[in-house]
């Protein structure tokens, strides 16, 4: 039966990954290739994106980027552009729209594009709201809420976001 063959193949892959890297992943990660998914989505050379990541709308990603597991890339509200050499850690959510004005006032859905520059690190579980521009060589700390622009050579962290110039740049 097909299901039995899949279970056997999955079990073998899981055992190999556990012994080599001491990790266990969701089923989809064993049967999909992160680099093939990135190429299918039109991302730049040598970029990868986990199977568990969700991509909506117009999303452009540069070369040599790593998009981690359980990430949400929402380009449905005006486009999302991520530059080259960026790491987007697990659980990050990037939005280009929200429905606040629609719910509160019966207005249209609010939309605005998001741009992330080159050589950026977006830490785990960060939320980036619509309309934000993040410069080059920026580090965003884990669990931060980014609702304003972040200049080049900065580090930002917290909720609300605090911005500091990077001294290691």
Q: What is the pLDDT along the chain (169 residues), one digit of tens a residue?
A: 888 888 888 888 889 889 998 988 888 888 889 999 999 999 999 999 999 999 999 999 999 999 999 999 999 998 999 999 999 999 999 999 999 999 999 999 999 999 999 999 999 999 999 999 999 999 999 999 999 999 999 999 999 899 998 777 6
Q: Where are the domains of the chain?
A: 1-31, 33-165
Short-list 77, 72, 43, CA closest to 60: 43
Question: What pLDDT shows up at residue 169?
Answer: 65
Question: What pLDDT shows up at residue 5?
Answer: 86
Question: What pLDDT shows up at residue 115?
Answer: 98
CATH T-level assignment (fold) for domain 33-165: UDP N-Acetylglucosamine Acyltransferase; domain 1 (2.160.10)
- As given in the structure block, the two tokens for residue 104 are 């509160």
Q: Give one DSSP letter per residue of 33-75, joined into a string.
A: -HHHHHHHTTPPTT-EE-TT-EEEEEEEE-SS-EE-TT-EEEE
Give the CA dihedral 12, 17, 18, 20, nearest 10 degrees: 120
């Amino acid at each position: 039966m097909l299901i039995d063959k899949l279970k056997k193949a999955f079990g073998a892959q899981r055992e190999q990954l556990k012994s080599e890297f001491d990790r266990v992943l969701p089923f989809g990660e064993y049967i999909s290739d992160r680099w093939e998914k990135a190429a299918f989505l039109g991302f730049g050379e040598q970029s990868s994106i986990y199977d568990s990541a969700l991509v909506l709308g117009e999303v452009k990603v540069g070369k040599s980027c790593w998009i981690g597991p359980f990430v949400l890339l929402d380009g449905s509200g005006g486009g999302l552009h991520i530059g080259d050499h960026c790491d987007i850690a697990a659980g990050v959510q990037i939005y280009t729209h929200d429905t606040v004005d629609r719910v509160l006032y019966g207005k249209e859905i609010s939309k605005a594009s998001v741009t992330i520059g080159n050589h950026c690190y977006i830490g785990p579980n960060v939320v980036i709201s619509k309309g934000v521009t993040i410069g080059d060589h920026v580090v965003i700390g884990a669990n931060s809420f980014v609702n304003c622009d972040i200049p080049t050579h900065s580090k930002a962290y917290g909720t609300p976001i605090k911005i500091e110039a990077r001294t290691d740049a």
